Amino acid sequence: MDIKKLQKIHHPSGDVFVFESEVFNFPVRRVYFIKNVPVGGVRGHHAHKTLKQILICPHGAVEITLDNGKGLQEKVILDNPDDALYVGPYVWHTMKWMEKDSVLLVLASDSFNESDYIRQYSDFLKEITLLSERDQS
């Protein structure tokens, strides 16, 4: 799990949180946020073939579950606006809303491309197996 701290500039009139793409070594080409998800609601349920993402929760709390398809599952709760979680290719991920009015900000390495998504967990496991076999040969 790769969590980095965003730069926080404190000022009496309000804090500023700064993201610079050099920290994660990829250019940001798409930015979006998810809100109005009820507490306990879960989104995601997919992986990407090439897309890299940074997840930030600027308000509230969202639990992120990361699964590498090889038996390793990690959970992290994003509840601090200066935490930025990297989610790379071939990581199955879900996001569970833990607090009312939580917002999840996503910074992505590329524009939307449906063919980059792996939406069925069984397909994800097959692709992970194929990748592992290719790496071993």
Give the residue numbers annotated as catalytic, written as ranges.
46
Tokens representing 40 are: 């306990």
Radius of gyration (C-alpha) of the chain in whole angstroms: 16
Q: Which of 121, 41, 108 is nearest to 73 (CA)?
A: 121
60, 97 in Cβ contact below 8 A?
Answer: yes
- DSSP E strands in 12-113: the ranges are 16-18, 30-34, 42-48, 53-59, 62-67, 73-78, 83-87, 92-97, 103-108
